[in-house]
Structure 1
Amino acid sequence: MFRNRQFIGELISEFVAVFIIIVIGDSVAAMYTLYDPSPYKTAYWGVCIVWGLGVTIAIYVTGAVSGTHANPAVTLALALYRGFPWRKVLPYSAVQVLGGMAGAAIVYVLYAPVIDHFNQLHHLDRLHDGGAAGVFFTHPGDFVTPLHALVDEAILTAILLFGIFAVTCEYNIQAPQANSGALIIGLLVAALGGSAGYLEAWALNPARDLGPRLFCFLAGWGPSALPSPGVFWWVPIMGPLLGGVVGAGAYQMLIRPYMPRRQPPVLVETLPASDAAIRRSS
């Protein structure tokens, strides 16, 4: 009974984590996209920081319950390399996507009239033009094809998981302690956005993209959301999943084996008799 209750708590925690990230992140995307002049057009770093803070807040809120994967790529990597139970992978991933849908719904409630005004002003249609879709989910930037975006997302997510595995490695004596690790992970997300976000809006997370995309499909964007122009919808799913496996595996193979292992304290009773006598006499 306790195990079932704990597992339900973990699923709720993962739902809430992604919900928080999307409410904060998609709201700043709305501020960036829908307003003219935008408060962020000449301060894009602010968008990245807000996304990163969304991740940080989600970890502080839910980390003690589920560890705050908040990302199917993280869940998969933890199952592959750090003993996370495989039976939990699909349930975690499902509620992460649902959290993304719920977060997008709240952003829509907040910004619906602004979205409608933006589309009217720019003569855009949700269904055919995907008007204001960038508020909710990702798409290729200028000169970026879906295939190139797949490579981009794999590389960026590999860097993300490499960093997360480093920050959370129990042998890494240079990693921040538990109370500050969330901030470092949030800054890592912000750094990736600040250095590569214009490529395809740095999804890095299948739930971050698929959840809002599913909501938009139901909320009037239709084929602009799924399958989306260029059938792009699968790229922010497969790219992060592949990249997460590679990045986490790289840390496990290249760095972790050389970390200093913490040794248990040496007891006098376990020393040779001569050494024990020396200890007692000193």
Structure 2
Amino acid sequence: MATYSSANEKRVVYMADLHGGRPAFFAGWERLRHGRLHWLAESFAEAMGVFMYVYAGVGSTAVWVVGNLTKEVGFSSLLQIGFGYAAGIMLAITICSATSGGHFNPCITIVQMLFKGFPPLKGARYIASQIFGGYIACLLVYLQYSHILKTIEAGTPAAALAEIQFTPNGPAGIFALYVNPGSSLGQVFVNEFVTDFFLAMVIFGSVDPSNVLVPPSMAPVVIALAYAAAIWGFAGVGLAANTARDLGGRFAAMTIWGKDAAGNPGYAAIAALTNIPATILACIVYELMFVDSDRVVSQDHREFHDIHALHRRHGPAALAAADGNSSSSGGHEKEHIGTVERV
């Protein structure tokens, strides 16, 4: 059972109380979206969140690769790419997380299924949506840069293009993640695992309701800065950090350039899968060493929880109230005094 503040419940103002009547189409669609198609809205939000993250980051990468290939100075840098991904993450969390919960990474969804009771079917929909969002983002960035990339490919000798095409420095490297030639896959694996563990620890600490130093409004900033720091420090060795980013980009590159764009199978497996066990380990470590059930939940986090719990149609409070009404009999109604069922 989870609690919500009765004080907040008494002063709730819903969106419907502010903007008056909506056009019939939008009102009707919203009722449908909150009913049979609620799964569609959640899946769309997960896809859109990954789209924002990948679109911003890959766009910055495209400028960097194009600048290197055309020998233009000052087009981009690793610093800009880090900020690009950080901006995309902040936008994804702030715009889309209220609808879906803001996973935006298959490893987070898997952790939720393993330790938080997240429904497996819903988890599978989330993961498919996340990969699809990354795929669409990469295809759209390619469409926007295609005339430049085709000009570069046409003006580069075939042998020279073949040497760099499926590397971080080639046109395909804008979208798919490739290992640097000559890199040790063992070293790349360690780099990926440790960095992903670091990122997951920051995520779990940022959403901890007892962490008074990170209110909900600051969590997107803290998480985004962690990703930026990871890119600035460790992208040079080889870093994916998100299965949806890796598979979405790799599938997009294969759609454009064919099966050769899949790259080194060993690195493809490391990029796509390593963040999953790293995040699971981080969750276990955080639960064992940092979670303290005796800490006080901050007011900011209580308000954040109440906003979701008091949702008129889908909040746990609404479901508990409906359950209480349907269970009443003989003048004795089932009471839900300050409690809601966790969903």
Instruction: Settle same-fold status: TM greater than 0.5.
Output: yes
User: Cα distance, 1:121 vs. partner?
Assistant: 3.8
Letter in 2 for 1:115: L
- Number of the residue aligned with 1:140: 179
Task: Find the aligned partners of 2:47 and 2:266 in 1 and give their Cα distance.
Answer: 27
1:160 aligns with 2:199: yes
Provide closer, same or farther for how the CA distance between residues 253 and 143 of structure 1 changes in structure 2, counting only shifts above 3 A: farther
Provide closer, same or farther for how the CA distance between residues 38 and 136 of structure 1 changes in structure 2, counting only shifts above 3 A: farther
Provide closer, same or farther for how the CA distance between residues 197 and 5 of structure 1 changes in structure 2, counting only shifts above 3 A: same
Q: Which consecutive unaligned segments of at least 5 residues does structure 1 have?
A: 265-282
**DSSP 3-state at the match of 1:204:** coil
Q: Which consecutive unaligned segments of at least 5 residues does structure 2 have?
A: 1-31, 300-343
Provide closer, same or farther for how the CA distance between residues 148 and 263 of structure 1 changes in structure 2, counting only shifts above 3 A: closer
- Number of the residue aligned with 1:244: 279
Task: Find the aligned partners of 1:142 and 1:159 in 2 and give their Cα distance.
Answer: 26
1:10 aligns with 2:46: no
Deviation per residue, 1:173-216 (Å, 9 max, x gap): 222x222211111111101111111111x210011011111111
Q: Which has the higher helix share?
A: 1
Provide closer, same or farther for how the CA distance between residues 3 and 242 of structure 1 changes in structure 2, counting only shifts above 3 A: farther
Provide closer, same or farther for how the CA distance between residues 171 and 128 of structure 1 changes in structure 2, counting only shifts above 3 A: closer
Question: Given the alignment, which residue of 209, 218, 224 partners 2:255?
Answer: 218
Task: Find the aligned partners of 2:108 and 2:64 in 1 and give their Cα distance.
Answer: 28
**1:1-282 aligned within 5 A:** 2=34, 4-35=36-67, 36-39=71-74, 43-123=77-157, 124-125=160-161, 129-130=165-166, 131-141=170-180, 143-175=182-214, 177-200=215-238, 202-220=239-257, 222-226=258-262, 228-229=263-264, 231-257=266-292, 260-262=295-297
Contact 2:177 2:249 in 1 (8 A): no
Provide closer, same or farther for how the CA distance between residues 12 and 145 of structure 1 changes in structure 2, counting only shifts above 3 A: same
Contact 1:153 1:203 in 2 (8 A): yes
Task: Find the aligned partners of 1:6 and 1:242 in 2 and give their Cα distance.
Answer: 30
Task: Find the aligned partners of 1:196 and 1:259 in 2 and give their Cα distance.
Answer: 37
State the number of aligned residues.
259
Provide closer, same or farther for how the CA distance between residues 203 and 263 of structure 1 changes in structure 2, counting only shifts above 3 A: closer
**DSSP 3-state at the match of 2:180:** coil
Task: Find the aligned partners of 1:263 and 1:31 in 2 and give their Cα distance.
Answer: 42
Task: Find the aligned partners of 2:229 and 2:118 in 1 and give their Cα distance.
Answer: 27
Find runs of 4+ consecutive structure 1 residues off by over 3 angstroms: 1-4, 124-129, 261-264
Provide closer, same or farther for how the CA distance between residues 4 and 169 of structure 1 changes in structure 2, counting only shifts above 3 A: farther
Task: Find the aligned partners of 1:178 and 1:199 in 2 and give their Cα distance.
Answer: 32
- Number of the residue aligned with 1:267: none
Provide closer, same or farther for how the CA distance between residues 38 and 105 of structure 1 changes in structure 2, counting only shifts above 3 A: farther
Normalising to structure 1: TM-score of the pair? 0.84
Output the aligned Cα RMSD: 2.4
Task: Find the aligned partners of 2:150 and 2:193 in 1 and give their Cα distance.
Answer: 34
